[in-house]
Amino acid sequence: MSFGWLKLITYMFEIRSATPADVPAIFSLIQALAEYEKLSHQVTGSIDNLHAHLFGEKPCVEAIVAVVETQPIGFALFLHNYSTFLTKPGIYLEDLFVLPDYRGLGIGKALLTQLAQTALERDCERLEWCVLDWNESAIGFYKRMGATVLPDWRICRVTGEALSQMATPPS
């Protein structure tokens, strides 16, 4: 009986705050995430916009990265939100992604753990995010990390022309 070869690779990785030098790599990871989610056609942003929103005059998002040998191989992009019921800030995780070759090594867990620590350090009452309903592996991972997947909430989104129309006061 042949079992073939078992390839075991161990990576040393670091979780740290993103720097301006990481922006091109983060944008590349965003594109890889979009490809995984079959949403590449929706990536219309740019490295320059991402840089401005992370590190510009008025930053509106933050990111942490997982790095192997100076190369970002995963990221978590997040921003603050607020709970009116709790009257406390929270953190909203916009995206979490680890390149496929590095999955199963604890990197996603380390990113979420760091984000939870950041939430506690900032006196946030909750950490929340969305997950696509077809992404069973992510849903299972999040549940194992202690997350509750809320079945009774739906995302509402207004973009493009509909956003412009909504912003126009009635005549």
As annotated, the active-site residues are 142
Cβ atoms 70, 13 nearer than 8 A: no
Q: How far apart are CA 137 and CA 49, in angstroms?
A: 31
DSSP string for residues in 77-145: EEEEEEETTTTEEEEEEEEEEE-GGGTTSSHHHHHHHHHHHHHHHTT-SEEEE---TT-HHHHHHHHHT
d(CA 23, CA 79): 16
